[in-house]
């Protein structure tokens, strides 16, 4: 319920940023939401409806290809954002487009960042990048940036190059805020030292699509036996993994480090 509440609040926050700051100045956001904003400006269709329709095929594919919990939270985020865009009126808070693009990007980043912290995503390009990344080992962030560059170029041709540059400011601000709120590492190594090794292992294997390596350890001061569990996860799984460890052993010692590269069998689903 806590994650559902956080994702709902984050999605509503993004909806306010779009309708109060970005859309009145014809500034696009990143991802499919940016394309939905553009189509909403040039057609009579509502942006919320377009956002849902654009994400629907990806959500259906994601249910089959990605983790059920992750895609479930993502579906919730897309639905709440789409309804928010439909219900919240479009209102121009500021007449200065640079302020609108900057603060629109910051507020969008806060909303998406807390959605990530709750083990979800806002859909769109995140799902596309993750699906492509399962087939080829391309950097996730680089793929999302490349797809967002397409949004910027389209904005320049459809509206104006001033609008494209404002869109670029928004995307940059959004990315920086997300990285501040949520870990921006693609892969993380988690080392767990616990007296309940078997229980933690079973919990991780039952709920996490990852392999786990177990080693025997010993406390240098107490001499007591401990189990050392090591696994490599994606950034989207961090919040979920911490919750599972705390649920089984609140006293476990957990070390989370950035992983630059993984060689061997690492499924990125």
Residue 156 has which token pair? 């320049």
Helix (H) or strand (E) holding 217, with range, is strand 213-218
Round to the nearest angstrom and report the end-to-end CA distance of the chain: 24
Give Cβ neighbours of residue 260 (< 8 Å, ≥ 6 apart). Answer: none
Q: What is the pLDDT along the chain (269 residues), one digit of tens a residue?
A: 888 899 899 999 988 999 999 889 888 887 778 788 888 888 888 888 888 888 888 778 777 766 677 778 888 888 898 899 889 998 898 899 999 999 998 998 898 888 877 777 777 776 776 666 565 555 555 556 667 777 788 878 877 888 888 888 888 888 778 777 765 446 789 999 999 989 999 998 888 777 888 999 888 888 888 999 999 887 767 878 888 999 999 989 999 888 877 776 665 44
> Pick from 31, 25, 145: which is nearest to 77 by CA?
31
Q: Could you tell me the pTM of the whole model? A: 0.64
Rg (CA), the chain: 20
Q: DSSP assignment of 68-104, as one string?
A: HHHHHHHHHHHHHHHHHHHHSPP--S-S-HHHHHHHH
Q: Would you say 115 and 181 are in contact if contact means Cβ atoms under 8 Å apart? A: no
CB distance 262 to 187 below 8 Å: yes
């Amino acid at each position: 319920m806590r994650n559902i509440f956080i994702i709902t609040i984050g999605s509503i926050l993004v909806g306010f940023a779009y309708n109060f700051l970005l859309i009145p100045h014809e500034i696009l956001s990143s991802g499919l939401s940016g394309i939905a904003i553009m189509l909403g400006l040039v057609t009579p269709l509502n942006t919320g409806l377009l956002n849902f329709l654009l994400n629907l095929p990806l959500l259906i594919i994601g249910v089959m290809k990605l983790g059920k919990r992750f895609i479930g939270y993502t579906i919730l985020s897309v639905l709440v954002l789409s309804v928010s865009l439909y219900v919240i009126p479009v209102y121009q808070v500021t007449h200065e487009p640079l302020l609108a693009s900057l603060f629109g990007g910051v507020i969008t980043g806060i909303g998406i960042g807390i959605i990530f912290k709750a083990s979800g995503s806002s859909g769109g390009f995140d799902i596309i990048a993750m699906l492509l990344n399962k087939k080829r080992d391309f950097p996730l962030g680089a793929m999302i940036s490349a797809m967002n560059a397409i949004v910027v170029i389209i904005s320049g041709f459809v509206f104006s190059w001033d609008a494209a540059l404002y869109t670029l400011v928004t995307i940059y601000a959004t990315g920086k805020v997300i990285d501040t709120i949520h870990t921006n590492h693609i892969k993380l190594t988690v080392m767990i030292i616990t007296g309940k090794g078997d229980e933690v292992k079973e919990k991780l294997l039952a709920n996490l699509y990852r392999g786990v390596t177990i080693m025997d350890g010993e406390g240098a001061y107490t001499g007591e036996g401990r189990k050392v569990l090591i696994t490599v996860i994606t950034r989207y799984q961090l919040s979920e993994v911490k919750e599972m460890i705390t649920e089984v052993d609140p006293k476990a010692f957990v070390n989370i480090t950035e992983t630059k590269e993984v060689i061997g069998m690492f499924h990125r689903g």
